[in-house]
Amino acid sequence: MRAKGERRNSEDTAFLRRARSLATPGEWLAFALGEYEAHALALGQIATSAHDEALYLILHTLALPLDSDERVLAQRLDARQRAALADVFRRRVCERTPAAYITREAWLGELRFYVDERVLIPRSYFLELIGPPLDLLMGREPHNVRRVVDVCTGSGCLAILLAQHFPCAQVDAIDLSAPALEVAAKNVSEHELEGRIALHKSDVFDAVPPAKYDLILSNPPYEPSTHCDALPVEFTREPRLALDGGSDGLTIIRKLLRQARERLTPDGLLLIEVGGLQNEIDREFAALNPRWLPTEDGSNCVCLITATALRRATPKPPPCADRIKQ
């Protein structure tokens, strides 16, 4: 039996041999689509189709605008460009490196974020909600929102979307992972929001100074641990801490719900993205009257819980009670 390293080298060589003859971006695109299919590459981190992801990698590698017209697909590539494309697709196909970790960037709407293996690749449903839908839910103009928090901030992408949407708000951004917070700090600085976004290393709210928020928003880890064990290779390259929500997926969500009561203003809102856990949440937290917000793909996986419902359902805890329970 051939050793793993030896097999990988010969795969890489065969890949590079096939790639050498490709003369235009269009030929690269056709070649890449065949490779995506042959190797059953996983999608869903930056694009849901192989065509869109491969085209993005080609345009990015050639430093062409992402909205280039299709005539660019016919241009002749020089040796340096062909070598750069060969290296990018070798990493994507043979090493199964996620596209965003190759380009070191991910987009949410119009905003670009730096990403690397220290953070989850941004793909949150909150992109659809942070805007007019959120203003309607909050029942106030964006400039009247004073203080908001992004719990489980990762790359800082949602904290940055919040800061841009609420121009007068102070934004806190919390993560347990120090490496993730380094990436968040880079993004906050690139978006010139150091004056309004404060980063906190904390297990949910444990180490965050007392403050009341008009809005708590969170895209926490919510995959049950057994799902994480069976993920496609590309998703295992993301930090396990960003995905694994414990045995039933609810570990961080339960803690957030315990702590949120004391952190919301009287008419504040809590929004949590929960993946496929709607039924579990409806069952366990029926008393909190969770409301499921519509999303474009019909998954409706973001729930809204009001401060009023939290106050009604949970008695005020004695000081430090949450810490005693941990």
Ligand X SMILES: C[S@@+](CC[C@H](N)C(=O)[O-])C[C@H]1O[C@@H](n2cnc3c(N)ncnc32)[C@H](O)[C@@H]1O
> Residues 173, 179, 182, 187: is their CA dihedral positive or negative?
negative
Rounded to the nearest whole angstrom, what is the least distance from the CB of residue 90 to ligand X in the complex? 27
Nearest residue to the partner ligand X, using Cβ: 154
Q: Which is nearer to ligand X, 58 or 271 (CB)?
A: 271
Q: Which is nearer to ligand X, 187 or 306 (CB)?
A: 187
Q: Measured in whole angstroms, how far is the alpha carbon of residue 293 from the centre of its chain? A: 18
> Residues 68, 69, 73, 75: is their CA dihedral positive or negative?
negative
Q: Which is nearer to ligand X, 177 or 306 (CB)?
A: 177
Rounded to the nearest whole angstrom, what is the least distance from the CB of residue 157 to ligand X in the complex? 5
Contact status, residue 20 vs residue 86, Cβ threshold 8 Å: yes
Rounded to the nearest whole angstrom, what is the least distance from the CB of residue 227 to ligand X in the complex? 13
Distance CA 222, CA 228 (A): 10
Rounded to the nearest whole angstrom, what is the least distance from the CB of residue 229 to ligand X in the complex? 17
Q: Which is nearer to ligand X, 130 or 180 (CB)?
A: 180
Q: Which residues bind ligand X (CB under 6 A)?
A: 119-120, 122, 124, 152-155, 157-158, 174-177, 180, 203-204, 219-221, 241-242, 252
Comparing C-alpha atoms, which of 51, 149, 161, 164 is closest to residue 106? 161
Rounded to the nearest whole angstrom, what is the least distance from the CB of residue 279 to ligand X in the complex? 20
Rounded to the nearest whole angstrom, what is the least distance from the CB of residue 247 to ligand X in the complex? 15
